[in-house]
Every structure is written in structure tokens, then in C-alpha cells.
Amino acid sequence: MVMRKLRKKMRVFLWFAIVVFVAGMTAMMVGDGGRKPTPTEQGKVGEIYIKPTSAWQKIKSWTRKEKIPLSYRDYSNLLEHYKKQGIPAWKCKNLAFSTLVEEVLVTQEMKKRGIELTDEEVVEIIKNNPPPELLQDTLLLTNGEFDYNKYLAIISDPSNIRWLQSYELLIRSQVPREILYQTITSAARPTTIDLIEAYAHSHLKLTLEYALIPNPQSPISNPELLEYYNTHQDEFMLQEEPIINYVVFQVPISAEDEDYTKEIAQEIADFAQEGASLDSLAIEYGCQIIQTHSRFTIQGSRFTKKDDGYHIIKEEKELILPIRPSDESFVLTEDKASDFISAAKSDFLSTAKSYDLEVHKGTISELPIPADLSYINLAEKDKIIGPIEGHNCFYVLHTLGIQESPVPEFSTLSDKVRDKYYRSKAQELAQKLLDKITGRLKPSLQPFREVLQANGFPVETREFSVGAIYESPLFAESRGQEIFLKASNLPENETGIVSTEDGIYLVHCLKHEKPVQEEIEKAIPEVYPDWIKEEKEMIYEEWLANLKTSADIKDYRYKIH
């Protein structure tokens, strides 16, 4: 057990050992007039340069930005926290960095606004706001109700000082953030019309008949496609993006790694058999939990090997233990990638060839790299970035500058041009059929189906409601959801064209049922809390996004060579 935990933590231990060693060496070098230590050697995973906001700040700082370090230790703690939740390592890094950035920005914002609690305010909060776990404690109930005298006796007892200190820290952390949240979102005030529209939309019912207008079946020649491409070039223009060469270092999974994973799976299964819950074991071992699809509840526990790893099954849950390379393999592969970087500074392509690595090329949006590189300047030419950890691999990037031509060559887009051409033809056919239908629609409601079926297009009729969409996961993934949402403003007895991801549809609304006014008026008090919650969350997310945009964020997680 001890060895297992040591192996799981080995990479973290190695990293900290390197940081301590390098920090000591660079301190000696600086003392002797040597080079200045890099940010990572100083224990910083990044920095935030915050622009002055008030006129006084701008005058005082002469428009200089305030520099705030992002602690590597805080980043590591967040990383471990997310790993324990079973989140994959390459996702943990992005989540941990983003969380750290938000934490620093929000803390700075609270300082600017003077949002803090005095000691007296903290004492009052503790006295008048028992934590939820104590409110449910039967020992603090008198005649079935919470007894504040018993609670006051607990917080007055010197033996509970450690608990009180923890509760104080929690209050000092959470309450100012709640004050900031309420301050930012205080503008969320719905009108009666807002509430009526929200309720009416959430209780909308439609009966629709619709038909997919397929792409034309006749073959299309290249000259036709080229003519379409030349007349619609603005639709194929690319945004200017950095271009990257990159190589991938796969971390090998050895037979020993698989045997080790099988041992751990057996260990987890044994603990589960002895009575441990899969939820607690998932937290301890950093695994994912899913619901089983079996109709039967499995008594005891068992484990089985599948494509994504070993599955430990108990009752109605499955714990997934992926087969991953050992930590030693990760360290050795990362070292190999670092050696490659040192050698590739003179010639990236030749070095990749000598390492027998395939060189991939593409724009940033096309790369499969899971890391968030939005904080790194990738427009600068001839920089090597990495190693960047992915799913059982490491990436090394070589920047090539900005995409030179905003309009790609036709030869590289023939499939995309063909798809758009077919879709445009389907749109034209749908419009012709719509013109025919609308000319004959009144007073009869039958022509829609007659016109579509006469042209060989099957018509489907279906009832839709917002409740059905959000209550049924299967329905939410179907094409019906998109048709319903895009046709929700279509009046009764009207026909329209709806463009979805999987094609062009002609849609006829047979029934458009909204709740009656009396029902809406009665429901407004029930709608208000949900409306306020959603609106506040939207306002806060927009505010936080703007806060990030106004800050200049530097990411030092990946060395830039």
C-alpha cells in the first residue's frame, strides 16, 4: 500500500525536488552575478498583469500594470484536488490554472472594492448562523427544534477552539465572495413581461409536421464546385491563426503497467467486497464512477477488463480504473521530450527525423492538444513550446507564424465545398416547395403533407414541449430538439424552413399552445426564483469573462525555448 502511494506521487515529488534544487542553485548564481532565475524557478506558474481601472490608479502607476504572481504551490494543490475527483490529468491542469486565475482576480477585485469582514462581523455571523451540519444534529434539538442555547454553549467551550477557527476561515473566505456576487448581480430585476415570457416559453407545446429536404442525388462535377467556390469565397475564409508544427511522444504502457493496474483493480474490488462504497474508493484512487446499464443489482463486487480499463462493478455502479503508463514511464518520456527540445533548437524538422518522429502541421484550432494555450503568444515565429502533457503522451510545438492566406486553396477544401453546395441546393428546393405550399395553404391545411409526399419526402408528425426535452436525455440528443427550438416562434398554421446540423427541414406548425393568462399570473411567484438565479449567474459569468479579458495573463507552465 505504501509503495503504491509513493509511485502515484513520484512525479510530484520529483518536480518539487527539482524546484528546490534549481532554486538553490540559481540563488547562488544570482549572488555571484549569474543569470536571473526564471519565473518557474521562482515558484511561479504564471503571472497576471492587471490594468489600472480608476483614474487615480492610472495617475499613480503612470499606466503601469500591477503584476501578481500565480503560486506554483497553490496550482499544485488545486491539481491534486481535481485529480482526487477522478478528472483526467490533462484536464486537471487546465481547470487548476483557470481556477487559480479566477481566484486571484476575484480576490483583487474584493480588495479594490473594500469588501472584507471585521472581527465583530465574523463573531455575529458565527453566533447567528450555525453551519448546516449542526442544524441537522439531533443532539442540538429540543422538542424537535434547533436549540440556540445549546449551540451558544458549544461555541463558548474553549475545547472547540480548533473547530471555531476552521469555521471562521470558511466565513472569511465565502461571505466576502457572496457580497461581491450580490453586488455584481444586483442589476438582475425582472419585469412582469420577463416573467410572463419565461413561464410561457418553459410551458410551450407544439405539434409539428416536418420533412427533411435531402441533398440532390445527381453527381456534381469539379467545374461546378469550383464555380461555386469562386462565387462564395467569403464563406470559406479562415480566421488568421498561428500555424504550428508538432510532434508527439507517446508514453508506453508496459506489461508490468497492465499487471500493476490489474492488481489495483483486484485491491479495489476486495475493499468493495468488504463493504467499502465505490464512491469513497473512487475518491481515494482518483477514478471515475458511472451508473451501470444492467437491469439487475449486483450483490458483492466483481471486476472486468474493457477497452477503457478495468471496471469494478458493485450494485448499480461501476468504477473505471484506466490502464495508464507508470509514473516512471511518464518521467522518462518527459525527459526524452526535453532532450528533443534541446536538440531541436537548431533545426526542428531534422531533429524530428533523427528521433523517427512524424511531424504534424496545422492551425491551433486543428490541434488535438488538450492543454489551454490561450495565455501563450503563439504568433511569434520559431519558438519551441513544451513538453505539454496530453492523454498518455507529451506534445512539443514549433511555431511557424500566422496563417498567411486567409482563403485556402480549393484543392484543400473540395469536400467542404461539396457539402455547402449540396446544402445550398437543398435550401433552394425547400424554398420552391415553401412557395408552392404557402400559395395553396389557406383555407386548407392538407397541402403541406400532399406537396411533400408528392415529391417523395416522408412527413413526420410529433408533439413537442420544453419539459419533454429537458426531462428525457435521449430526446435531448435527437434532431427533434433542434427542430422544436428553432420552430418555437412559428405561428399556428404557418410553414417555415428550419436549418439544423443534419439538414434542411420544412416545418408546418399544426398547434402552438401557450399557457392561458390566468395560469401564468398564478405561476409568476414560482417563476421568479429560477429567473433571478439564471439571470444572476449569466451576469456574473459575463463580468468574470470581462475581468479575465482586461487582465494580461502569462502562463509559465510550458517552457518557451
Domain borders along the chain are 1-37, 119-184, 204-235+411-513, 242-252+327-402, 255-321
Nearest residue to 160 (alpha-carbon basis) of 171, 168, 172: 168
pLDDT at 405: 62
Say which range, 24-33, 54-63, 77-86, has the weakest mean pLDDT: 24-33
Domain 204-235+411-513 architecture? Roll (3.10)
Residue appearing with cell numbers 449542526: 134
- Is the confidence at residue 18, as pLDDT, over 50? no
- Is the confidence at residue 452, as pLDDT, over 90? no
- Looking at residues 184-201, what average pLDDT do you find? 80
| 518 vs 21, residue with greater confidence | 518
- Looking at residues 529-541, what average pLDDT do you find? 88
- Is the confidence at residue 21, as pLDDT, over 50? no
Say which range, 50-64, 83-97, 259-273, 416-430, has the weakest mean pLDDT: 50-64
Nearest residue to 550 (alpha-carbon basis) of 65, 75, 95: 65
Confidence of residue 323 (pLDDT cuts 50, 70, 90): confident
Q: Are strands 309-315 and 298-306 parallel, antiparallel or unpaired?
A: antiparallel
pLDDT at 350: 93
Query: What backbone torsions phi and psi does residue 146 show, to the nearest 5 degrees?
Result: -65, 135
Residue appearing with cell numbers 518557451: 560
Mean pLDDT of the chain: 78
pLDDT at 404: 65
Q: Which of 20-24, 204-208, 365-369 has the highest mean pLDDT?
A: 204-208
CA 390 to chain centre: 16
pLDDT at 425: 86
Q: Tally Cβ neighbours within 10 Å of residue 206.
A: 21
pLDDT at 480: 66
Confidence of residue 246 (pLDDT cuts 50, 70, 90): very high
Cα torsion 452, 453, 459, 461: sign = positive
Residue appearing with cell numbers 462565387: 231
| 462 vs 231, residue with greater confidence | 462
pLDDT at 5: 37
pLDDT at 52: 60
In this structure, the chain runs to a length of 561
pTM of the model: 0.61
CA distance 286 to 353: 38
Rounded (10°) CA dihedral 177, 180, 181, 183:
160
pLDDT at 8: 41
Rounded (10°) CA dihedral 265, 268, 270, 274:
-160
Query: What backbone torsions phi and psi does residue 277 show, to the nearest 5 degrees?
Result: -80, 150
Provide the residue type at 73 as one letter. R
| Cell numbers given for 237 | 475564409
- Is the confidence at residue 465, as pLDDT, over 90? no
Confidence of residue 351 (pLDDT cuts 50, 70, 90): very high
- Is the confidence at residue 538, as pLDDT, over 80? yes
Q: Do 155 and 140 form a contact (C-beta atoms < 8 A)?
A: no
| 141 vs 347, residue with greater confidence | 347
Nearest residue to 79 (alpha-carbon basis) of 71, 140, 61, 132: 71
Q: What 3-state DSSP class applies to 142?
A: strand
- Is the confidence at residue 308, as pLDDT, over 70? yes
From the number of C-beta atoms within 10 Å of its C-beta (0-12, 13-18, 19+), residue 303 rates as buried
247's torsion region: left (phi>0), alpha (psi -120 to 50) or beta? beta
pLDDT at 65: 65
pLDDT at 325: 85
Domain 242-252+327-402 architecture? Roll (3.10)
CA 69 to chain centre: 24
DSSP 225: H
Q: Which of 131-145, 303-317, 348-362, 429-443 has the highest mean pLDDT?
A: 348-362
